[in-house]
Chains A and B, each alone.
Chain A
Amino acid sequence: MNPGDPIAAIAIASILFVIGLLGVMVRRNLLFMLISVEIMLNAAALAFIAAGARWHAADGQVMFLMIIAYAAAEAAVGLAIVLRMHAAGRGTLDADTGNRLKG
Chain B
Amino acid sequence: MAALLPLIILCPLAVAVILLLSRGTMPARATCGLVGVGMGLCALFGVIEAVTFLNGPDSTGALHVVLWHWIHVGGFDTSFALTLDRLSLVMMLVVSCIGFLILVYACSYMRDDPDIARFFVYMNLFVASMLLLVLSSDMIAVYFGWEGVGVCSYLLIGFWYHETPNANAARKAFVVTRIGDALFLVALLLLATGVGSLDFNAVIQAAPHAPHAAITLATLLLLGGAVAKSAQLPLQTWLPDAMAGPTPVSALIHAATMVTAGVYLIARLHAVFLLTPGVMLLCAVIGFVTILFAAGSALVQTDIKRVLAYSTMSQLGYMYMALGCGAWQGAMFHLVTHAFFKALLFMAAGSIILRVHHEQDIFKMGGLRQEMPGVFWAFIAGSAALAGLPLITAGYFSKEMILTSAYNVAPLFWLGGILGAFLTSIYIFRCVFITFWGEARTHAHGRTGIVQAVPLAILGVLAIIGGWMEVPDSLGSVHIFSNLLSPVLGELPEEHGGAVLLLIGSIVPLIGVSLAWMLWKPTGRAPEALDQPLVRVLRADWGFDALYDVVFVRPYLALGRLNRNDFIDRLYDLLASVTQFFGRAFGLMQTGQVRRYAAWIAVGTVLALCLAV
Contact = CB atoms under 8 A, between A and B. Distances in A.
Interface of A: 21, 24-28, 33, 95-96, 98-103
A101 B590 contact: yes
28 contacts: A21-B602, A24-B595, A24-B598, A25-B595, A25-B598, A25-B599, A26-B595, A28-B595, A33-B594, A33-B595, A95-B594, A96-B593, A96-B595, A98-B594, A99-B591, A99-B592, A99-B593, A100-B592, A101-B590, A102-B590, A102-B591, A102-B592, A103-B586, A103-B587, A103-B588, A103-B590, A103-B591, A103-B592
A25 B599 CA distance: 6
Residue picked from B586, B587, B589, B592, most chain A C-beta under 10 Å? B592
Interface of B: 586-595, 598-599, 602
Contact of B592 (A24, A26, A33, A98): A98
Contacts of A28: 595
B52 to A, nearest CB: 82
B598 A21 contact: yes
B579 to A, nearest CB: 15
A90 to B, nearest CB: 15
Given A21-B602, A25-B602, A95 B595 contact: yes
Contacts of B598: 21, 24-25
A101 B592 contact: yes
A100 B594 CA distance: 11
A95 B591 CA distance: 12
Given A25-B602, A96-B593, A103-B591, 8 more contacts: A21-B598, A25-B595, A26-B595, A98-B592, A99-B592, A102-B592, A103-B587, A103-B590
A41 B599 CA distance: 16
Contacts of B602: 21, 25
Contacts of B595: 24-28, 33, 95-96
Nearest to B583: A103
Contacts of B591: 99, 102-103
Residue picked from A33, A98, A99, most chain B C-beta under 10 Å? A99
Nearest to B584: A103
Given A21-B598, A25-B598, A25-B602, A103 B593 contact: no
Contacts of B594: 33, 95, 98
Nearest to A21: B602
B610 to A, nearest CB: 15
A95 B599 CA distance: 14
Nearest to A22: B602
B505 to A, nearest CB: 90
Nearest to A28: B595
A46 B590 CA distance: 33
Contacts of B586: 103
A84 B591 CA distance: 23
Nearest to B602: A21
A95 B586 CA distance: 22
Nearest to A26: B595
Contacts of B592: 98-103
Nearest to A37: B598
A103 B597 CA distance: 13
Nearest to A102: B592
A25 B601 CA distance: 11
Contacts of A27: 595
A95 B592 CA distance: 10
Nearest to B599: A25
Contacts of A96: 593, 595
A26 B587 CA distance: 23
B590 A95 contact: no
Contacts of A25: 595, 598-599, 602
Contacts of B599: 25
Nearest to A36: B598
B226 to A, nearest CB: 65
A40 to B, nearest CB: 10
Contacts of A33: 594-595
A46 B591 CA distance: 33
The 6 closest A-B pairs by CB, nearest first: A99-B592, A103-B590, A102-B592, A103-B587, A24-B598, A101-B592
A63 to B, nearest CB: 18
A32 to B, nearest CB: 11
A35 to B, nearest CB: 14
A99 to B, nearest CB: 3
A95 B598 CA distance: 12
